[in-house]
Amino acid sequence: MQYERFGGPEVLQEVEVADPVAGPAETVVEVEAAGVNFGDIKEIAGELREGPHAAKGPLPRIPGMEVAGRTGDGRRVVGYLRQGGYAAKAVVAERDLAVLPQEVSAGAALALLVQGLTAYHLLRSVARVRPGESVVVHSGAGGTGGLAVQLAREFGAGRVIATASTDEKRAFVLGLGADAAIEGTAEGYREQVLEANHGRPVDIILDAVGGPLLDVALDSLGLLGRLVTYGASSRQAAAAVSPGRLAVASSALAGFWLTPLITRDGAGGRALEELLGLTARGRLRPLAGGEYDMAQATRAHADLLGRRTKGKLVLLP
């Protein structure tokens, strides 16, 4: 699936192209499944055209940043790539590949790449969660949010609160291990969070919504609280935050994006091995979402944008 112009999901088209050729320290993967991410939507919309992490090369391009499948030498692998995953074959750098345990499905493994590694680093590397701390996870029924709820519990959080937009999704995140589930709209947000945390401000908030919600969430942090922003699915601008506002509560506002970290260190490594191990042992349950034929990538993107999904969406060649 490729796009010849920037735009919405409708610009994706099914085409036949030559097989990709691996370069030095690269491997061709016969794709069993490709993951779908908000980053793919931003790429085809032209929102990643500039900056050090822009999608490379002229149009047309093949989107997709994660695949699971087999290599020519028979390894069953999961791997991260900058683009080119929406295809029957993809080239992946060896340092961005990990061998899949037999107990882990392709869909579960794909959930652990961009979404799992993001959740891991949000909690461990940026927020640096400590045992007993309270954690609020926005969009807890989503791929990253659902993993963050589970990992917060795994890493020793004392109370985990998730936001979700419907009764069904709130019940779902409670089933993942959240202690409380709230609607999490900007209006009345602080009151909802404090009530869910027994009247106390919280230690950590993980936000991928942005806009007005990020602004009001800052007021729900306690002393030395940390809010980490890693997306803006609302597509609304957040209010400017002055240093003085943070200083008064000794709170922190941090950002995170996985791509620069992977660019520097590679996707393979201890974090991904830990996530795969937790999954193989049944301690972590990646959220399987919808499966779509590769030719239905347009519908997968539209469903993701329309918030009609939960968990990891995958495309099947």
Cis peptide preceding 60, ω within 30 of 0: yes
| pLDDT of 168 above 50 | yes
Average confidence (pLDDT) over 163-173 = 94
Confidence (pTM): 0.85
Helices (H), 113-222: 117-121, 143-154, 167-176, 189-196, 212-218
- Per-residue pLDDT at 311 exceeds 90: no
Q: Which helix (H) or strand (E) holds 38?
A: helix 38-44
Q: Which residue has the tokens 């963050």?
A: 148
pLDDT tens profile 38-61? 889 999 999 876 554 566 678 999
Q: Check if the beta carbon of residue 195 is closer than 8 Å to that of residue 172.
A: no
Give the tokens for residue 138: 């926005």
| pLDDT(133) > 90 | yes
Residue 10 token pair? 């409708």
| Backbone phi and psi for residue 225, each to the nearest 5 degrees, phi listed first | -75, 160
Strands 221-229 and 202-207: parallel
Residues 57, 82 contacting (CB under 8 angstroms): no
How does strand 288-293 pair with strand 312-316?
parallel
Domain range 2-113+260-316, CATH class: alpha beta
Whether 2-113+260-316 shares its CATH topology with 131-255 is answered no
The token pair that represents 235 in the structure block: 């597509």
Helix axes 167-176, 143-154, angle to 10 degrees: 30
Identify the CATH assignment for 131-255 out of 3.30.2130.10, 3.40.630.30, 3.30.1360.10, 3.40.50.720: 3.40.50.720
Stretch 214-230: mean pLDDT = 96
- Kindly indicate the confidence band of residue 286, based on its pLDDT and cuts at 50, 70 and 90: very high
Residues in CB range of 193: below 8 A, 6 or more apart? 136, 161, 182, 201, 202, 217, 220
pLDDT at 52: 46
pLDDT value of position 62: 97
Q: For the chain, which residues make up each domain, given as ranges? A: 2-113+260-316, 131-255
Q: Is the pLDDT of residue 231 over 90?
A: no
